[in-house]
Chain A
Amino acid sequence: MGIKLKLEGVNVFFGNNRAVKDVNIDFHANMVTAIIGPSGCGKSTVLRSINRMHDMVPSARVTGKILLDQTDIYEKNADPVSIRRRIGMVFQKPNPFPAMSIYDNVIAGYKLNGRANRQESDEIVEGSLKRVALWDEVKDRLKKSAMELSGGQQQRLCIARTIAVRPEVILMDEPCSALDPIATAKIEELINELKEQYTVAIVTHNMQQAARVSDYTAFLYLGELIEFDRTGKIFTNPEKKHTEDYITGRFG
């Protein structure tokens, strides 16, 4: 299985503060890679650099290479909009567009990227909602506000919105931290299914979740990549004492 996405010597600066230091990570195609580490270690910052979200922060600067299928997404003539179409993102808090219906939420991202006729839209909405196992729950109220859904349903809706634009990579930043255990299990099941089609990177502060859903795990600490390996290896026998102390709950 090939490498879909490759971080090479990535640094992220906020002003003079180097929040991410010389990080190298290979994201394998059709696999789930988890990024773990204590709060503030730079997990979100790494993730956001992957779809050029720091472009919108004036003080932020990214150096190094981020290769999507061997092409650097920070290259001069790379187009951030098309990159964000190929690399979708799901956030911590379910954030459907409040004024929109369920239907319009799913198709919103797709419409931003170009026109869609009615029939095409219908197909995309149904396909995306089925993909996230939400179709049966909402098919009779597609025109209702997305805000009527439960938190777990909203998060699945956001994932449907992300996959509606047919990305290649899905980035998730603590996608379950606002959800109850059952809703969390549904998202985890979904992540397992999504990797058949997509390459997934997930930031999570829940170590058991990383152990359950990911194939590879990267452990970050103070902006540095301490260890990267198969998840099975990291959680049974990590190479670094530092990693072991963290995942066994020994960080003081």
Chain B
Amino acid sequence: MEREHIVKQYDTELNEIREKLLEMGGKVEMMISNSVKALVDRDSELADQTIILDHEINHLEVDTDERCLEVLARWQPTARDLRFITLALKIVTDLERIGDQCVSIATRVKELNEEPPLKPYIDLPRLAEASSIMVKEALDAFVRGDEQLAMKVCNDDQFVDDLNIQIQRELLTFMMEDPSTITRALKLNYISKYLERIADHSTNVAEMVIFMVKGKDIRHTSAPQSTLEGQ
């Protein structure tokens, strides 16, 4: 277990930042699942709610950034605390971007809901679930300083990439077979791509967690093997 600081207030402020990030993470997970649920259930109201939720994410981003800057100014963190704060500042940006991707998904969903469904959605919800789990696990890894879990998230990115390619291929066959599906298929294509980006943001977070724990930067090194495959 992590040792406490002699000055308790310091721990309190670091914990508040940790909690803000988790709150953001929880909201972002909800946005991911709701935006895709809005597609499957053809529920445009749910898509609207997702878009509105993004305002809260933006607020949390600003608030968390400010807290981090204040901790830097007041406590002059060093070593693991310094890595924690710089990491929190970056994670906030990734979470905010994930929120933006969800807004894009919800916007496409609303457009798609105006037209007849192209096909039953099976792989997109799987993709959404995998991306959402990656967000959750990346944040869990951050909060617990769990390098193993962070490593798993990095590995799972390959599964998401593969599933995205599979979806793109399937949609391509739809478009070739019946050009009248092109507009809808392209929108679904986008949605798949957005979900893949969300997984990339989670991978960023996970890589930074490994940096925080190990003090070793593994970004821009070759991708390891997937573990989600076959689950």
Q: Tell me how far the C-beta of A228 lies from the nearest C-beta in chain B, rounded to whole angstroms.
A: 16
Residues of B within 8 A of A248 (CB): 5, 77-81
Let me know if B78 and A250 touch, CB within 8 A.
no
The B interface is mostly helix, strand or loop, or mixed, namely: loop
Alpha-carbon distance A238/B4, docked complex (angstroms): 18
Interface size on B, residues (CB 8 A): 15
Alpha-carbon distance A176/B81, docked complex (angstroms): 26
B3 interface neighbour in A208, A236, A238, A245, Cβ under 8 Å? A245
Alpha-carbon distance A211/B82, docked complex (angstroms): 13
Chain A interface residue number, banded: 10 to 19
Let me know if B5 and A236 touch, CB within 8 A.
no
The A interface is mostly helix, strand or loop, or mixed, namely: helix
Q: Tell me how far the C-beta of A237 lies from the nearest C-beta in chain B, rounded to whole angstroms.
A: 4
What string of 1s and 0s marks CB contacts (under 8 Å) between B1-21 and chain A? 001111100100000000000
Interface hub of B5, B78, B215 (most chain A Cβ within 10 A): B78
- Is B76 engaged at the interface, CB distance under 8 Å to the other chain? yes
B7 interface neighbour in A243, A244, A245, A249, Cβ under 8 Å? A249
Residues of A within 8 A of B7 (CB): 249
Let me know if A237 and B3 touch, CB within 8 A.
no
Let me know if B78 and A211 touch, CB within 8 A.
yes
Interface hub of B3, B4, B6, B81 (most chain A Cβ within 10 A): B3
A247 interface neighbour in B4, B6, B78, Cβ under 8 Å? B78
Alpha-carbon distance A244/B77, docked complex (angstroms): 11
Alpha-carbon distance A236/B76, docked complex (angstroms): 12
Closest to B6 in A: A249
Let me know if A237 and B83 touch, CB within 8 A.
yes
Q: Quick one: given A211-B78, A236-B83, are A252 and B215 in contact (CB under 8 Å)?
A: no
Q: Tell me how far the C-beta of A246 lies from the nearest C-beta in chain B, rounded to whole angstroms.
A: 9
Residues of B within 8 A of A13 (CB): none
Residues of A within 8 A of B6 (CB): 249-252
Q: Tell me how far the C-beta of A199 lies from the nearest C-beta in chain B, rounded to whole angstroms.
A: 25
- Is A235 engaged at the interface, CB distance under 8 Å to the other chain? yes
Alpha-carbon distance A146/B94, docked complex (angstroms): 60
Let me know if B82 and A250 touch, CB within 8 A.
no
- Is A207 engaged at the interface, CB distance under 8 Å to the other chain? yes
Alpha-carbon distance A29/B79, docked complex (angstroms): 27
Closest to A208 in B: B76
Let me know if A238 and B79 touch, CB within 8 A.
yes
Alpha-carbon distance A2/B108, docked complex (angstroms): 65
Alpha-carbon distance A211/B79, docked complex (angstroms): 11
Closest to A247 in B: B78
Task: Please provide the chain B residues from 67 to 96 with a CB less than 8 Å away from any CB of chain A in the complex.
Answer: 76-83
Residues of B within 8 A of A236 (CB): 78-79, 82-83, 215
Residues of B within 8 A of A250 (CB): 3-6
Alpha-carbon distance A110/B78, docked complex (angstroms): 42
Alpha-carbon distance A211/B80, docked complex (angstroms): 15
Task: Please provide the chain A residues from 188 to 247 with a CB less than 8 Å away from any CB of chain B in the complex.
Answer: 207-208, 211, 235-238, 243-245, 247
Let me know if A244 and B5 touch, CB within 8 A.
no
- A→B interface (CB under 8 Å): 207-208, 211, 235-238, 243-245, 247-252
A selection of 19 A-B contacts at a CB cut-off of 8 Å is A208-B76, A211-B78, A236-B79, A236-B82, A236-B83, A238-B79, A243-B79, A244-B79, A244-B80, A245-B3, A247-B79, A248-B5, A248-B78, A248-B80, A248-B81, A249-B7, A249-B10, A250-B5, A252-B3
Known: A236-B79, A236-B83. 8 other contacts (CB 8 A): A208-B76, A237-B215, A247-B79, A248-B5, A248-B78, A249-B6, A249-B10, A250-B5
- Which 5 A-B pairs give the minimum distances between C-beta atoms? A237-B215, A250-B3, A244-B79, A235-B78, A247-B78
